[in-house]
Homo-oligomer: A and B are copies of this chain.
Amino acid sequence: MNSFGRLFRVNVFGESHGASVGVNIDGIPAGIPLTQEDFLPDLERRKAGAKGTTPRKEEDLPFIKSGVFNDHTTGAPITILFENNNTRSTDYEKLREFPRPGHADFVATHKYGGFEDYRGGGHFSGRLTLNLVAAGVIAKKILGPGISVKATLKEVAGLPDAEQGLEAAIAAKDSVGGIVECVVEGLPIGLGEPFFDSVESTIAHAVFSIPAIKGIEFGAGFAAARMKGVEHNDAILDASGKTATNHAGGVVGGITNGNPLVFRVAVKPTSSTPKEQHTLNIKSGEVENFSVKGRHDLCIALRVPVVLEAVAAMALADFMLLEQRSNRVFKN
């Protein structure tokens, strides 16, 4: 349940205010150069501190606990640990009477009988996306320099300029959502598996593990529903599979066709809005006014691009390993 992938197998663990968060990855080929420093640029991109993100200073140092020797992967599972040092749990203890709207508080208590670590969202915390970013760094190495995975903010608060969208949120003193687009270039033709493990199925599976994502579309996506067939079909131009348009977003029949893989995701507004809300007080049984304490990102979408790249890279690295079995087509 906390794992993803067939050959590049990612297991995440940890809680926001527990001892640590971390990730265990099996199936990594031996011989990939890897050091702690390799993780820092993408972890930095995810970090808090930008306008509209929380000023809480997180300790994000990734410690490699297994699977690396002489700065190269060994073929054994890699475990990366992020210790949690900067946590103030007392902030959270008193919040239990209000299961925060938009958060997992209510469902987690129901599912785990009250034994869940409820501090700061516990296992449901956005802090676990550290694990995804770390796994993504390794996945990108498997994809190699010929394949680029690049996600960008397309919209914040409905505005194409993220800066303006954020200003709108600050002015409204409310959280806002956004749209992030990911483009992968350089993929070979043939990734993806019928029937259930299409590229779309697998990418979507990975993407919806990121908190706050509520929709995904490939290529023309929802707009395709209003197009005509001749308009939507991408004419093939040559033997490399290059198409005149890319309404399919690089995937046909669930399999990459050699054109850029393109998808977009919808990110909901941060659940922890500074605005006062009206919701159930579990203890009193009454609907009451409630405010989230502490400082939170106004727009979680700002942190999504590097995480989106990471999960896309994870899914694609798994397909690459699967495809590189030398006998997709039998030779003996």
Contacts and interface: CB of A to CB of B under 8 A. Distances in A.
| Copies of this chain present | 4
A122 interface: yes
Interface in A201-216: 201-202, 204-209, 211, 213-216
B230 A112 contact: no
A331 B271 CA distance: 34
Contacts of A86: none
Nearest to A279: B235
Given A101-B233, A178-B225, A65 B81 contact: yes
Contact of A273 (B76, B77, B158, B228): B228
Given A217-B217, A235-B279, 8 more contacts: A12-B196, A13-B79, A18-B66, A22-B66, A76-B194, A229-B270, A237-B280, A239-B280
A50 interface: no
A59 interface: no
Contact of A330 (B73, B189, B239, B326): B73
Contact of A30 (B115, B145, B236): B115
Nearest to A10: B196
A179 B225 contact: yes
A329 B2 contact: no
Contacts of A223: 266
A224 interface: yes
B19 A64 contact: yes
11 contacts: A4-B196, A7-B325, A12-B77, A14-B66, A18-B66, A31-B331, A74-B117, A75-B115, A123-B195, A179-B222, A211-B253
A119 B70 CA distance: 12
A332 interface: yes
A255 B111 contact: yes
A207 B254 CA distance: 12
Contact of A172 (B103, B221, B228, B234): B228
Nearest to A285: B239
Nearest to A175: B229
A90 interface: no
Interface string A237-277: 11101010001110011111100000000111111110111
